[in-house]
Structures are given as C-alpha cells and as structure tokens.
Amino acid sequence: MILAKNSVERYTFNMNSKICVIGSSNIDQIAYTQNIPSDGETLFGDSFQMGFGGKGANQAVMAGLLGADVYMITCLGDDVYKEMTITNYQANNVNTDHVQLVRGSSGVAPIWVDSTGQNRIIVIPGANNEIDAQKAISSMTEIGNISVLVGQCEIPMEVNHQVFEFAKGNSITTIFNPAPARKLEKDFLEHVTWLIPNENEFELISSMEPNDENFLRFKKEIPCNLIVTLGEKGAVLVGDDKTHHFSAPTVDAVDTTGAGDSFIGTFAYELSESNSPEECIKKAIQKASQSVTKKGTQSSYS
C-alpha cells in the first residue's frame, strides 16, 4: 500500500513480510593473486577458495541472514553442485521449495581477486539459462503475500519480463539490479519499483557518465525509483530534482566480491521491514562495507 509519493515511493507491508528472489545460483571458484595475469602470461596465485555465489543467491542469503522470510526461485543442474547449493540455502535461512531442476550443469563463476581486493569475474550460466517463467509465476502464487521481489540480469531477460510484470500486477514491490549490465527496455522498467545499478552499470544502461547531473537526467527518463551504488564512496538516492548522497565508512578492503549483492539483499530486507528508503540505504551500505573486509562472497556476509 502506498503511503506517500514524492521523489521516491514509500511502501508499508504486513508483519512477517516475504521476500522472493528470482535469479542465479553459481559456484564461485575464487583465485587470489598479487596481480592479474596479462594476455599469455602465467602467474602463481596465493590461494584458492570455492564458495557459493550467483547474484540472486547472494542477495537471498544476505536477506536470509538478516532474518527475512526469503524464498529462492532459481534453476540448478543435475551435477554435484545441486545438493551442495540447496543445503547452503537452507543453512542460511532461504526457502528452497521452489528451486527448479534441469539436466546439465549448474552455474559456475571463475573469479580472480588481486592484492587490492578488486575482482574480475566470468559467469558461466549453465542451468540459470533454463529457468522457467511460468513455473516461477506459479511458485509466486503458491508462496502468496510476497512483499518484495528481487531480480538481476543473470537469468534470461524474457523470464524477468514475465515475472516482474506479474509482480507489479499483484502489487508486489520490485527491486532490479541490472547486473551484469545491459540495456533495459522501457516497458520492463514500467514493472520495476527500484532500479539499483552500480556506477559502471549505470554508465552502460544510460550511455552517460556517472555523475549527479546525469543521474538526474536519467531519472527523468525512467518510470521507477533510482539508486546508484558507488563502491567505497557509498550510494546516491536520485530524486526528481536532487540527489542525496550517503557515504560509506572507511575500511580495509580485502575482497570486494559480492559487496553489491550484500547491499541489494540488505536493502530488500530493510524495505520489507517498512523502513524509509534513506534508512534502508544506510543499513545496506553498512553491510556492504563490512563484507569487503573478509574473503569470499557469501562467506563474508554477517
């Protein structure tokens, strides 16, 4: 139910609000190295870690760790990673009753992290490309009383189109994280309540440099609320005629992998708790900043 509408929309939900995340599940294969190798170069790395990832999975786990009633809609293959992934969801307070299963490989993501904590990621979607939109909509109907739906670009966009249209038609607040970055159609954005790109994603989807003037310009072109995350510089809430910057605490970054997903998962949880957008952003920055001080993706969440 809409309480008020100024430059951003504000919502209130029933107690025990449900969050549904539709998106990717991957196994992260993380190599830590002093320097990223150049073309044709072979280097010795410092250490290797395998963990659970996928933007959808990360966002669901973050919300689950905060105590949300989280339901994950994702697709897994029939490989060795299937049971591991389901067990991990359940251990992190994420409902797996609506996980779809197909033959073939689950998603994987080889990741390189250098000595400054910056990362390079290659996502191989596997079963994530096989997720079924109609099954997802049936799952959402079965779950019932969903307050917030969260999605990303690691599953086919035609699936997101159908699911977000259903959600908006059923008064579900929707959060879309356009990552990996790609152009978004205007009719899709009609079904998005909160669009949350980072700086690089903003530049790609808007064809503008990431600065306040262009944030405001882009906000006038889209039919939804806009937040842009700025890494160590925090985040900006973009209104109709002004921007509101939120700073991030200074921390010693070890690994930035998954920090943006920590932000999204926390924002979704705080929004479902009927907190103001400003308060949601502050809490999300706090959790994202904490996550970069530890190695790994979901293993860095708390």
- Active site residue ranges: 261
| Ramachandran class of 56: left when φ > 0, alpha when ψ lies in -120 to 50, beta otherwise | alpha
Contact, 192 vs 167, CB < 8 A?
A: no
The residue among 277, 273, 282, 254 whose CA lies nearest residue 66 is: 273
Tokens found for residue 55? 């933007």
Specify the DSSP element, H or E, that contains 120. Answer: strand 119-121
Tokens found for residue 33? 């190295």
Tokens found for residue 190? 């009609």
What span, in angstroms and rounded, lies between the C-alpha atoms of 264 and 244? 18
Give Dmax over CA atoms of the chain in angstroms.
58
Residues sharing a CB contact under 8 Å with residue 148, sequence separation 6 or more, in sequence order: 13, 17, 18, 19, 20, 172, 173, 174, 175, 268, 271, 272
225 Cα distance to chain centroid: 16
Using CA of residue 143, residue 148, residue 154, residue 160, what is the dihedral sign?
Answer: positive
Q: Is 91 exposed, middle or buried (0-12, 13-18, 19+ CB in 10 A)?
A: exposed
Contact, 86 vs 77, CB < 8 A?
A: no
